[in-house]
Structure 1
């Protein structure tokens, strides 16, 4: 199934994996609509997307704003949710509960709100593709919030696949990928993470956003996949 002529909404589509998904879909002839919290991010993304792409400023944690956004967008074929701030990695003893709640507000409740208000505008044959991570399957010390999020996203995906049928609902689970989500780590620590991860992975390298984008496109095209978790981690859960 081709994405040509289809309309795809990517919330979080102005950077990293979300932008890679928008670019890849547009490259196949889809019309893409990207949304992000910051106007400057939207403007920068539109410069990298083909003519005809739409960009909107949207706070995914604001339910009324999300409701209004989908009212403005109208009918479309696929909803992709990749929005989220920097990854939260801190020990339980040092955790900031306010920061942890904000992390979940965007990544979990933001996705929930987007599906709540966007699902009714999805055309027949369309789908939702959410985003999780491998921390639920391979947690490490300091990842309790991230692991909780990832487990919740997998469970949410399976529940929504039944509730929204025949709209298909799937989730992509990336491993270590070079994106802005690691920007809060000092550069030396960040590069050390990439190097050590690459050395441990069967594929011998960390991921690029374009690697992971292929999974989203597959799930949008694949009319027989729903309730699925597609892991794209270079074999990280194996080692």
Structure 2
């Protein structure tokens, strides 16, 4: 649906984060990555050092990946614990420096926003609403700076390519190395200021149908 809308209307999304393609590393943070077996994922410093070490080793300034990955790293937070843990990642992560500007890929209005101050959660998050040919969908931006929420209000117009946020530092995004969690939702299911970024494996089909690959909206 999303790809058809963009193609039919000849829409090229703006860059969400401007990075050098030659300095981009594609991360594998799935449970199949044996490198992760050698670090304590519940040790926040070790995980942060691992992310930076991989970028340094590959001479990269930005890392990307994660859509649909089955991950084990969420054991580090009680937020994802349940009888069946949430392990399927529903967005794309872009790992780069705190303070990096974030731009809207399309014209939008602010749907909602919040600051989830819970270990392992989004921290500051903004959800934008987009409309093309009477079709409405949403984009979510998690792990932002607290300053990103200043001056916001629901319904605020955000132009395509306009900077509306920046990446948060470690203490702001609630104990994650600086990165953007970028996600698309076709239906907000009545939620405001939040939408799950990770789901249970048993619910994978339903959630991935509602959360298509956000790579379509990253821009070039």
TM bucket (normalised to shorter chain) is: under 0.3
More strand by proportion, 1 or 2? 2
TM-score (norm 2): 0.23
More helix by proportion, 1 or 2? 1
Point out which structure has higher relative CO (alpha carbons under 8 A, 6+ apart): 2
